[in-house]
Chains A and B, each alone.
Chain A
Amino acid sequence: MSTRLETHGRLIDRSTSVKFTFNGKWMPGHAGDTLASALLANDQMLVGRSFKYHRPRGIVASGGEEPNALVNLGRGNRHEPNQRVTTTELVEQMHATSQNHWPSLEFDVGAVNSMVSRFLPAGFYYKTFMFPRAFWKHVFEPVIRQSAGLGAAPHPETRDPDRYEHFYAHVDLVIAGGGMAGLMAALAAGKAGKRVLLVEQSAHWGGRAPVDGDVIDGLPAEDWVKNTVEALEKMENVTLRLRTQLSGVYDHGYALAYERVSDHLDDADAPRHRLWRIRAGQIVAATGGIERPLSFPGNDKPGVMLASAVRDYIVNYGVTPGDRIVVVTNNDDGYRTALTARAAGVEVACVVDPRTEVDGELPQQVRALGVPVKTGSAISKVKGLKRVVSVRVQPFAEDDGSYEEIACDAVAMSGGWSPVVHLWSHCGGKLNWDEAQACFSPDPERPPTNQNGEGFVTCIGTAAGGLTGAEAAKTVADRMRGLDIAADDIAVENASETPLAPVWVMPAYAGAKKRAKMWLDFQNDVKVSDVMLAAQEGYESVEHTKRYTTLGMATDQGKLSNINGLAVLAEALDKGIPQVGTTTFRPPYTPISMGAIAGEAKGDLFQPLRRTPIHDWHEEQGAYMEPVGHWRRPYCFPRDGESHEDAVNREIDATRRSLGLLDASTLGKIIVKGPDAPKFMDMLYTNMMSTLKPGKCRYGLMCNENGFLMDDGVVVRLDEDTFLCHTTSGGADHVHAHMEDWLQCEWWDWQVYTANVTEQWAQIAVVGPNARKLLEKLGGMDVSKDALPFMQMAEGTLGGFDARVFRISFSGELSYEIAVPASQGRAFWDALHEAGAEWNATPYGTEALHVMRAEKGFIMIGDETDGTVIPQDLGLNWAISKKKEDFLGKRGQERTFLASEDRWQLVGLETLDGSVLPDGSYCVAEGTNANGQGNVQGRVTSTYYSPTLARGIAMGLVHKGPDRMGEVVAFNKVDGSTIQAKIVSPVFYDPEGEKQNV
């Protein structure tokens, strides 16, 4: 059984007790445990079920490469699926549940999949579920969804209560990995005065060296690590972060690091995760290596573990996965596990080694302890269902019929080591196949390159291909010098190792049946047989094979399976491994939380909200707000119990009869100034602006260079060379950028300056027959018809406020738009309401604004336009200058398609029954098109109930509409029926403009 040892456990504090639950059962652990070590200490070998066959699975690894031991962690708002137990630090009251089984972990109905596994080969869903077609959606997919999958998705109504953040850091060097190599590099770079950020994904410095007993610079690894960290902590230019993984490398020296700030603390008032966004001169990958599993039948059973993981659990946590271990290895390093186990008092039944000659230093030590070393041997079977009971040992190369059953409750396997080259590869660093060590390692001649064509990632240590401590150390000094950083050679002593035997299938003669029990990808249930089948079916590219078999496509991204899988593919294709190549490594290295990616952008900070100076008043009044760009504007101001519709009608009625007030502060306001401003304005707008007299206003249209209508608004000439351009609320920033684009890129020699002063001003529309009376009551300016006629502006002091008064109207009523500095906006709004009370001054929202402009036949950018509409379509020819030689859009509008009269054009629409046309409704035409769809001849662009006319009114674009006045056409409804509407003038209200001109 797996159990806690009396000795060892350098990372745990045995004086503490930490309680947690697994599938509802309380278990004890110690501070310093990972969830994995605590589970093993409690003899919880079985931790999950596999993805496809629901095979019982146990912990395989001790780090981020773990494929099996994923659990649901936390409850309620903090529930998170697919959490890796090997990288989860144990916390008091932690609740973990196993995944992908029904009804229980111990008894899983889905395990029947395993019995029918021959019907679920690689690519089975491409082959099996094609016919009948309708079955996919209704039968196959629901069944597969139920059966496959990992953790439970969080409930949609839960809300993550934790906070997250980003942090930007600019450094000379970011070093990924706080093992021996990373520490050495940090020390050298720190001494060289570089700004260094050293990150380590686990909670401890030192990596494998203290576990494997290396001697560094004459000191035991643990002591050297401690001294080095202390030295680094004293350096002001070096920052050290534990629990921080450099998870992705991106172009131009950009890197992301994922810090788990408080996962290991219970009830800490701190950000949970922090995403470091790093700009680094050089990224140093000291990411170490990952041990490969061996592919022997039954290698996925609980109790079969990586040899290095067995050492980790014994040395770091004082936990052994079994009382009697068999080690199976194709290299000398695996023997360290036998030595470590023996030193901890754990029985080692034997070491199985496919190599025929094994006489390295480490094997000799193992033999000296009396542990049998079975050379030229292989494991050909693992017995036991939910945990290992025994293994069958047979000759590796040829089956002579002999075998031996060896009782054991754990198997430590080692197929050699692969450097972690992910960070090197994220931006395209190339790899070499290292024949001697049977692994891909970074080719220093072909690094990922930056904007100058220079390499910006450097691998050191094991990640550089130095698979022993001594070799790893050598690469550090060498590569750091390559970065012009002086680095001392630090000697590392460790036992010498003899070459490994590249073994990809064990035993070598395994037939189809055995190959179907050799797991490559534990998480996605991909076996040696699947990869061979893919090869047999013609999949030659490793990328295609990956997708066909799903090898390496699970959440562990094939950290254990990649090399073994492609080696099997290479063998099946009878090619060399480097010819087959490897799949692409992409960030992140291991999954990072969505919270970290979002950072602070959640809740109130999800999106910036723009507020006018009067925003708070609207909210206090209970206004129903709608988004307009990033602004929130009041849609209407419902009173107690009033529907939105009723509120809108009331607001319109009050405005048309007496007095309405609108917060129009969001309206874009851009100053255009300079000797060439008139010329510039003539180019920007379709109409002639240079002839506008100072103090006068003119409605203008702005088109893009294709001729399509882009924005509209009232232009005011403030003085001879200064214009104020009003834009739509959502269009201000875009229009300003559009102006600057033309000024900076095309007309750079024109003397024009622009400034976006939208937010400098609060702007309020005072609208209705009593508007003038209100302003006169406030006093200070002459706003009479003669002093301030329609389409004119005046500056002065109104009721004590610094005001610009524009006599413009978007409603058809007598109307003034008054701009006051934003700081005075709220006070001015209050003053208007106070003084306007005698005329029932009524605030109105955007919907009343829209209805009133529609009653007047005024267009709205975004309703009547959609990026394909030109002013001529809208009957706005009067606003297009014929005299001007050029303006933006002129040439576009002359293209035959746009100049044609055969276009949909703006008309008013009146339903015969007075009802309101549906929004977006199409005007139907005879016949069908090539796709069998009904033909259409127009569409509704704006449609409202008009309280003023007490009927539905609409505007729409109808084919040659203005020529068809009085014609009755049909508009479709979603229920398939149509509504009859008459084509009329779009101006429904006060066509002569008598009301606004009073």
Chain B
Amino acid sequence: MSNAVSALQGVSETGFAHIKEMGLAGMVTLKADLGAAATKKAVKAAVGADLPEPRGMSSGKKEDGVAWMAPDELLLFCDHARADEVVATLTKEMGSSHHLAVNVSDARAVFTIEARDVREVLSKLTPADLSNLPLREMRRSRLAQVPAAFWMNGNNHATVICFRSVAQYVYDLLCMASKEGGEVGYH
């Protein structure tokens, strides 16, 4: 595992926003009945977080957390090295309850955007309505031609998740969208 690297290995660029690839992050997909007590308990045991509301996110220990993906799907966040352990915990806790827990950490790339208002960057790439996006609500949408999910931690900080194979494309998109001179002044 000492050889593990993220897609773009922490590359960054500054235009009117600062774009940075975050390196490796742990991510686990859990598909299950989100209304079941077993699911709630398993998630709590795995990352210490409560089940989020639809489209919402909740926090657990340290960097751990959970994002709502679909009516039967969650995305659990944890330290990269701990992802298999989270899968194991979920599997154990869920027991015979029908579920699918799988480590998807390496299928992803994560970026952060820092800017006076990150929506100035994202609005060039996603059709999602960012003027009404509550903080820490994850929006599954697209950035230009590829799927992506993102949330705002504040108006000046956003996190973007995309598939690992298109990390370079998404990084190039974010850099282009935040190039000096391209400020829109809308948000």
> Which A residues form the contact surface with B (CB < 8 A)?
163, 165-170, 195, 239, 262, 268-271, 274, 277, 279, 599-601, 604-605, 607-613, 630-631, 671, 673-675, 751, 753-755, 757-761, 800-802, 821-824, 826-828
Contacts and interface: CB of A to CB of B under 8 A. Distances in A.
B182 A271 contact: yes
Given A279-B129, A674-B98, A759 B164 contact: yes
Instruction: Find the residue from B32, B80, B164 having the highest chain A CB count within 10 A.
Output: B164
B11 interface: no
Instruction: Return the 7 tightest CB-CB contacts between A and B, nearest first.
Output: A827-B3, A270-B181, A753-B100, A822-B106, A823-B4, A610-B165, A759-B107
Contacts of A828: 3
Given A239-B186, A279-B129, A611-B165, A271 B102 contact: no
A21 B172 CA distance: 38
Given A608-B169, A760-B105, A165 B4 contact: no
Given A600-B124, A760-B106, A824-B1, A605 B169 contact: yes
B29 A755 contact: yes
From A166, A168, A630, A751, residue with most partner B Cβ within 10 Å: A168
Contact of B31 (A271, A601, A630, A755): A755
Given A610-B165, A671-B100, A755-B29, A823 B24 contact: yes
B34 interface: no
Contacts of A823: 4-6, 24, 80, 105-106
Contacts of A759: 106-108, 163-165
13 contacts: A165-B182, A167-B123, A168-B124, A169-B123, A170-B132, A239-B186, A279-B127, A599-B144, A674-B98, A800-B3, A821-B103, A821-B105, A821-B106
Residue with the greatest number of chain A CB neighbours at <10 A, chosen from B6, B165, B184: B165
A264 to B, nearest CB: 14
A167 B107 contact: no
Interface string B46-61: 0000000000000000
Interface string B119-139: 000011111111110000000
B150 to A, nearest CB: 13
Contacts of A757: 102, 104, 107
Contacts of B102: 671, 755, 757, 760
Contacts of A753: 31-32, 72, 98-100
A308 to B, nearest CB: 33
Contacts of B128: 168
Contact of A170 (B3, B4, B131, B181): B131
A761 B168 contact: no
Nearest to B3: A827
Contacts of B99: 753
Contacts of B123: 167-169
A268 B182 CA distance: 10
Interface string B152-181: 000000000001111111001100110111
Contacts of B185: 239
A605 B98 contact: no
A824 B2 CA distance: 8
B142 to A, nearest CB: 10
B144 A605 contact: yes
Interface residues of B, number: 53
A753 to B, nearest CB: 4
A826 B72 CA distance: 34
Nearest to B104: A760
A741 to B, nearest CB: 15
A801 B172 CA distance: 31
Contacts of A611: 7, 165-168
A610 B80 CA distance: 23
B172 A605 contact: yes
A167 B168 contact: no
A630 B168 CA distance: 13
Contacts of A822: 106-107, 164
B182 A610 contact: no
A98 B182 CA distance: 32
Contacts of B103: 760, 821
A956 B147 CA distance: 39
A298 to B, nearest CB: 48
Contacts of B104: 755, 757, 760
Given A605-B173, A759-B163, A165 B124 contact: yes
A609 B106 contact: no
A169 B186 contact: yes
A167 B182 CA distance: 11
Nearest to B23: A823
B184 to A, nearest CB: 6
Nearest to B103: A760
Contacts of A613: 7, 164
A751 B103 CA distance: 20
A911 to B, nearest CB: 40
B186 A605 contact: no
A759 B127 CA distance: 25
Given A277-B127, A753-B99, A824 B186 contact: no
Contacts of A269: 179-181
Interface in B12-66: 24, 29, 31-32
Contacts of A610: 163, 165-166
A673 B73 CA distance: 14
Contacts of B98: 674-675, 751, 753
Contacts of B6: 823
B146 A608 contact: yes
A600 B124 CA distance: 9
Nearest to B73: A753
Contacts of A170: 129-132
Nearest to B96: A675
A824 B176 CA distance: 29
B106 A608 contact: no
B145 A608 contact: yes
Nearest to A602: B176
A631 B168 CA distance: 13
B41 to A, nearest CB: 19
Contact of A673 (B7, B100, B130, B173): B100
